[in-house]
Amino acid sequence: MKGLRSLALSIALVGSVACVAHRGPEGPVQALPFADDSWDDGMALVSTYSGRVQRYGIWREATVRDYLVREYLDPVSFTKRDNPKGGEVAVLKANRLMEFSTGSYDYRLMGSYLFDRAEETLVHGKGVCLNACGIVVQFWDRRSQRLQSDSYWEGEGRASAPLSAGEWHFADALPFVAPRLANGSEIRVLAPLVAPRSILVPEGAVGEAAGVGFGDLCAACARPGDVGYAFANDPRTTVPGRTLRVARRGPVTELLGEDGVAVATFRVDADGHLESWTVAGEQEFRRARQFRGPYWQMTEPSDRRRVKP
């Protein structure tokens, strides 16, 4: 019986998140660092969020699931190594899945961001947007230092543009990054990897930076002809972006536009994990459920309850 009780206790600990406040120099609570020792147990932190998104001018109920876990990447191919042999890149993998419906069809969006644990910088990122119209895939890695885009939309197709590693962040990676940024700093925010249209635009396109990363990004899907430009195989394409200022107050981080108004707000809990976020006019989410454990082994129908909103 003693052995059974010990086993039950071990399972309970694996399936929970320690309630110890993570305190830092910039406030009473800050985001848990990617290099924190707690990630070294190899277990994933799985969080489910309930909320809504703005698409086609209408608020839609939506669900987001985040899967964060330590991994090791091959230094050349940036693929996962199940059995590290030395020389790998230690990363924190942050996978995000978003689901919502729009009338007669659904959206399935996934972003995968692999962050260098020591530097907290992006090593590899990939975004996929799937709906009844088609699929758009985009990816970047610090070895190639190019943004690759593959879109089914007319005038887009396959295209790429140089994108050197630097002090920038894809908009859809901000929930993992923003709470770790220094108060008062300025950041360059690029359009999101997970997008229903290619995020590449011709250099000098009118309004190329307007609303980047925020707003109803699917508006152009309903009226694709309104985009007004084509860039397939055009070497002059670029990745648009804009500059925002970071304002941190304890567990809350705001990203401010030029007018000083918050365009996005993120809050972490006492353990330093993302609790909620808001993107003005686009997204509103709050965490509904969370567990820690080997989700890749939890494949029984009964395990679905762990990630239900």
Please determine, for residue 203, whether its predicted confidence score (pLDDT) is greater than 80.
Answer: no
Quick one: average pLDDT of 257-262? Answer: 93
- pLDDT bucket at 220, cuts 50 / 70 / 90: low
Closest CA to 246 of 232, 234, 236, 260: 260
Burial of 9 (0-12, 13-18, 19+ CB in 10 A): exposed
Strand extents, DSSP E, the chain: 44-55, 58-73, 89-102, 105-116, 122-131, 135-141, 146-151, 158-162, 168-170, 186-190, 201-202, 237-238, 241-249, 252-256, 262-268, 274-279, 283-293
- pLDDT bucket at 110, cuts 50 / 70 / 90: very high
What is the structure's pLDDT at 212?
62
Please determine, for residue 109, whether its predicted confidence score (pLDDT) is greater than 50.
Answer: yes
- pLDDT bucket at 130, cuts 50 / 70 / 90: very high
Please determine, for residue 24, whether its predicted confidence score (pLDDT) is greater than 70.
Answer: no
pTM above 0.75, yes or no: yes
What is the structure's pLDDT at 87?
84
DSSP code of 80? B
* Domain residue extents for the chain: 2-307
Separation of alpha carbons 46 and 233, rounded Å: 39
